[in-house]
Amino acid sequence: MITEDLLATCWTTAGDAAPGQPDLRSPLTLRERVEAAGAAGFKGFGLLHEDLVEAERTYGLSGVRSLFEDNGLVHLELELLVDWWADGPRRAASDAVRLDLLRTAEALGARHLKIGPDVEDRPWEPDHWAEEFATLASQADGVGARLAIEFLPWSNLKTVHDGLRLVETAGHPAGGLIIDVWHTERAHTPPADLADVPASRIVGVELNDADSDVIGTLFEDTVRRRRLCGEGSFDLTGIISALRTAGWSGPWGVEILSDTHRALPVREAAEAAFSTAAALLK
């Protein structure tokens, strides 16, 4: 029995779907996924925008909210907004997703919205990014949610330090970070650095594991070869301790991405993700 809540991030219950695929949508129904997460013991759920659109079409937003409530899921994470810093057609497409995420976040009582950095690591202007981030954080705050950016070691925001500089420069209290331990480990960030992150800037944490060696690109490795918590090389005990020192007490996200995990029936996948993370949090 654990006292801290766990959140199944979007990919953990998505079945045979993954970042980088032409169609990001899960082949599973939202009901299948939500019931699997609730039965496993999760108290939170992550939903990708592409799946949110399909869920609204199938159930309506009131039906989606009822699904979460009926299965004891009280923490909702919505993702993923990209190109929020851009201009031209990319920005126009991003703004359409932004409006949709903000609208549904308010209707569903979402805890936070997740946004991404520039995964092509193109030249960028930090002041411009901070201004755009602050605007977006204000909009999220206006619908009762927080805004969190996830740094990635192959992007323009490679480390927790890069992400923290952005959110601190932006300065909005609703803005903060998603700290995925896969990304901190692959960026060689020691757990002690995580203990120094201000609690007010941690919006979410994602737990997972991996082997010590990277196979292929970082993107390929993160999408195809993550392991369940405690089954890889990460110092998860030290990382969890450091984040608790920083002031984090959950909900702890669990994000498992691998060829092996995607092949499992969703209830088996959700149970494995929950039980291995919960064992460490005890």
Rounded to the nearest 5 degrees, what angle is found at the Cα of 23, between the Cα atoms of 203 and 266? 65
C-alpha to C-alpha distance for 35 and 205, rounded to whole angstroms: 23
Q: Is residue 209 part of a domain?
A: yes
Domain extent at residue 151: 6-281
**Residue in 113, 201, 207, 123 with CA at minimum distance from that of residue 164:** 201
Please give the tally of structural domains in the chain: 1
Is this structure's pTM higher than 0.85?
A: yes
**Residue in 188, 191, 265, 269 with CA at minimum distance from that of residue 226:** 269
Structure tokens at 230: 């405690």
pLDDT tens-digit readout, 75-101:
999 999 999 999 999 999 999 999 999
Q: Is residue 50 part of a domain?
A: yes
Identify the pLDDT of residue 2. 80
Residue 184, domain CATH: 3.20.20.150
Identify the pLDDT of residue 198. 98
pLDDT tens-digit readout, 25-53:
999 999 999 999 999 999 999 999 999 99
Q: Is residue 1 part of a domain?
A: no
Q: Is residue 92 part of a domain?
A: yes
- Cross-strand partners of 177: 149, 202
Q: Is residue 56 part of a domain?
A: yes
